[in-house]
Amino acid sequence: MGLQANSQLRVGLLGCGGRGTEDATNLFETGGARVVALADMFQDQLDVARASFDKMQSAKGYAAIDGGQCFVGPRAYEAMAHSKEVDAIVIATPPYYHPAHLEAVVAAGKHVYCEKPVAVDVPGAKKVLEIGKRAEGKLSLDVGFQIRDCPPFVELVKRIHRGALGNIVCGEAHYLSGYLDRPKWEKSSPAERRLRNWVYDRVLSGDIIVEQNIHVIDICNWILKGHPVKCAGTGGRSGRPVDGDVFGNYNVVFTYADGIDVTFSSTQFAKGWWDVTERFFGTKGTSQSPYSGPLGIWGDESWQTPLIPAKDDQGFSATGKFTSNLEFADAEKKKAFVESITSGKFHNQAEKGVESAVSCMMARTAAYTGREVTWEEQWKSKEEWESKIDLGKLG
Residues 216 and 228: beta-carbon distance below 8 Å: no
- The set of residues, in sequence order, having a beta carbon less than 8 Å from that of 324 and lying 6+ positions away, is 291, 292, 293, 308, 309, 310, 311
* Helix H or strand E segment including 203: helix 202-205
Residue 87 has pLDDT above 90, yes or no: yes
The whole-number average pLDDT for the span 72-88 is 98
Q: How far from 49 is each of 92, 144, 211, CA to CA, in Å?
A: 13, 20, 23
Q: Which of 126-135, 273-282, 304-313, 370-379 has the lowest mean pLDDT?
A: 304-313
Portion of the chain with pLDDT greater than 90, in percent: 91
Exposure string over 175-195, b if 16+ CB within 10 A, otherwise e: bbbbeeeeeeeeebeeebbbb
DSSP symbol at 165: T
Confidence tier at 321 by pLDDT (50, 70, 90): low
Q: What is the pLDDT of residue 1?
A: 47
pLDDT > 60? residue 212: yes
Q: What is the pLDDT of residue 310?
A: 67
Amino acid at 331: A
- 395 pLDDT tier (thresholds 50, 70, 90): low
Helices 18-29 and 329-343, packing angle to 10 deg:
60
Q: Residue 168: which of 217, 218, 215, 225 has the closest Cα? A: 225
Q: What is the mean pLDDT of residues 363-380?
A: 98
252-296 tens-digit pLDDT: 999 999 999 999 999 999 898 899 999 999 999 999 999 999 999
Per-residue pLDDT at 141: 98
Q: Which amino acid type is present at position 20?
A: G
Residue closest to 42 by CA, chosen among 74, 78, 79, 89? 74
> DSSP code of 348?
B
- CA–CA distance, 48 with 70 (Å, rounded to integer): 12
pLDDT, residue 5, reads 46
pLDDT score at 293: 93
pLDDT category, 394, cuts 50, 70, 90?
confident
Which pLDDT belongs to residue 111?
A: 98
The answer on pLDDT for 78 being more than 60 is yes
The predicted model gives 236-240 an average pLDDT of 96
Give the global pTM. 0.95
Share of the chain above pLDDT 70, in %: 95
Domains along the chain with CATH numbers:
10-146 (3.40.50.720), 150-319+349-379 (3.30.360.10)
What DSSP designation does 117 have?
Answer: P
Mean pLDDT of 370-392: 97
pLDDT for 148-158, tens place per residue? 999 999 999 99
pLDDT number for residue 200 = 98
User: Which has more pLDDT, 204 or 323?
Assistant: 204
